[in-house]
Amino acid sequence: MRTHTCGELNKSNVSESVTLAGWVHRRRDHGGIIFIDLRDRYGLTQIKFDPAINEEAWKEADQLRSEWVIKATGNVLARPDDMLNSKLETGEIEVDIADLEILNKSKTRGGQ
């Protein structure tokens, strides 16, 4: 189902195509680009949805909410130097998602 866990990717994986699966930990929309912190039992990885890469996956990502379970495939990119996150083991990279599958929607407080 996945090629890597959310805690193991680093700069040595740049340019690789990977598949991750886990829970949506946090979602952010920055001017049309959607960022998701994807979590599994091993850690967190930032994944990115850009409509220029795959508009359909971006539209699906726009629906994502906390604790939904997803599977995402894309290419590992090095994060820009001014965007590194030293608090995360995976803070030097992000994954540019080309394919998204929603495995399970989770009901959370407030009926989201």
* Tens digit of each residue's pLDDT (9 = 90 or more) over 73-107: 999 999 999 999 998 999 999 999 999 999 999 88
CATH number, position 100: 2.40.50.140
- Which residues form the domain of 71? 11-105
Residue 96 in any domain: the answer is: yes
Tell how strand 33-40 and strand 93-104 pair up.
unpaired
Per the structure, the count of domains in the chain is 1
Tell me, what DSSP letter sits at residue 60?
Answer: H
Whether 26 contacts 66, CB under 8 Å: yes
* Tens digit of each residue's pLDDT (9 = 90 or more) over 14-41: 999 999 999 999 999 978 899 999 999 9
Q: Around Cβ 75, how many Cβ atoms within 10 Å? A: 16
Residue 83 in any domain: the answer is: yes
